[in-house]
């Protein structure tokens, strides 16, 4: 990634009564914009709300830069009368305001940037907590008045959530995915083509799947799931916001975490955790060789990232055991090692 012209977006969004940003929608975000596109956007402050004249000037400059689609968008936004912002991120730095934060979240959900591919430090302090309703984003302090106004019209203002993050599907619907319950996938999630998120599945921001794969459990912030991997019903992954510290957790390709299981360590390719077993970095694991004999006991963290492992609990002793998946023999030497 170059140090300049990191990303561009023309967004339309929502203000509260103090003209402060609540959220923004970027239909055409661009990663590594051309010099011509960046040049057309450089004069605009990332946090400034653009007026009609500024949007017309921007549209004219985008036309000159050969960016016809963005010029057309600028004119449509101008005619809408909605609050708009033009954001150019010169460098890959943490977001400094709401328009920048929303552009970064869009970049991930549009699959332009992978989780951990853009700096999101300080994101929670920047994003406002918002009431997400059938009438759009509403400032929490202004919600009671809007609810009363709806009642006086004989209506009920439906509040779907109170959160800093909206659901992804109201902003981005990536190609080739199925989401059974859209409220369970936050903006800033990365869903690779072929991903299915079932009703109880959940995907946080800055996390996601390579696809294809089946997600019936929880993908916590910062966690990436490899292709052809399944997260069973009620299963979960420990993320950086849920006790995982700075360890970047994830699952490789062809993995399976059974129902109500989970992992607090990154799994290599073709690993399996049996149903109901949760592996954390400190879990004591007994290594079993190809003949079924115990070799040594280690903390699970020592096995982080290693492929072709099967984690199970011995039903007699209750001991957590690890052995090589029968479909592969490459890890036998690792399991036999005593150092």
- Return the number of other C-beta atoms located less than 10 Å from residue 31's C-beta: 18
Q: Residue 220: which of 194, 248, 256 has the closest Cα?
A: 248
Place of tokens 């002793």: 317
Determine contact, residues 86/70, Cβ cutoff 8 Å: no
CB 157 within 8 A of CB 191: no
Distance CA 119, CA 101 (A): 10
**Residue 216 known to be catalytic:** yes
Q: Alpha carbon of 293 to those of 108, 121, 180, 272, 336: distances in Å? A: 46, 47, 44, 19, 10
* Helix or strand holding residue 124 (H, E): helix 123-126
Selected catalytic residue, list 67, 210, 216, 321: 216
CA-to-CA distance for 303 and 251, rounded, in angstroms?
13
The pair phi, psi for residue 15, each rounded to 5°, is: -105, 155
Cα gap 275→99, rounded to integer Å: 42
Q: Which of 82, 77, 119, 74 is nearest to 101 (CA)?
A: 119
Enzyme catalytic residues? 216
């Amino acid at each position: 990634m170059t140090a300049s012209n990191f990303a561009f977006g023309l967004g339309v969004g929502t203000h509260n009564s103090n003209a402060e940003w609540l959220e923004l929608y970027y239909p055409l975000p661009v990663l590594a914009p051309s010099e011509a596109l960046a040049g057309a956007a450089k004069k605009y402050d990332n946090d400034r709300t653009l007026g009609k004249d500024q949007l017309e000037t921007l549209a004219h400059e985008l036309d000159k830069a050969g960016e016809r689609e963005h010029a057309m968008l600028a004119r449509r936004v101008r005619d809408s009368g909605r609050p708009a912002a033009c954001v150019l991120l010169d460098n890959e730095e943490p977001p400094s305001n709401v328009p920048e934060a929303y552009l970064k979240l869009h970049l991930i959900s549009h699959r332009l940037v992978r989780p951990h591919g853009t700096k999101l430090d300080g994101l929670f302090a920047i994003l406002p907590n918002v009431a997400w309703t059938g009438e759009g984003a509403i400032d929490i302090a202004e919600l009671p008045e809007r609810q009363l106004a709806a009642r006086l019209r004989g209506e009920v203002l439906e509040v779907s959530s109170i959160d800093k993050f909206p659901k992804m599907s109201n902003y981005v619907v990536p190609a080739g995915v199925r989401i059974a319950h859209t409220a369970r996938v936050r903006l800033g999630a990365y869903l690779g083509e072929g991903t299915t998120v079932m009703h109880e599945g959940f995907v946080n921001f800055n996390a996601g799947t390579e696809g294809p794969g089946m997600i019936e459990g929880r993908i916590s912030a910062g966690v990436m799931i490899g292709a052809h991997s399944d997260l069973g019903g009620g299963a979960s992954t420990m993320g950086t916001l849920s006790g995982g510290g700075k360890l970047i957790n994830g699952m490789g390709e062809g993995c399976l975490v059974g129902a109500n299981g989970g992992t607090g360590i990154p799994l290599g390719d073709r690993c399996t955790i049996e149903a109901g077993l949760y592996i954390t970095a400190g879990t004591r694991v007994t290594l079993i060789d190809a003949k079924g004999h115990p070799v040594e006991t280690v903390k699970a963290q020592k096995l982080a990232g290693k492929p072709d492992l099967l984690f199970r609990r011995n039903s007699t002793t209750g001991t957590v055991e690890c052995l090589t998946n029968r479909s592969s023999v490459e890890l036998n030497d690792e399991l036999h090692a005593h150092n």
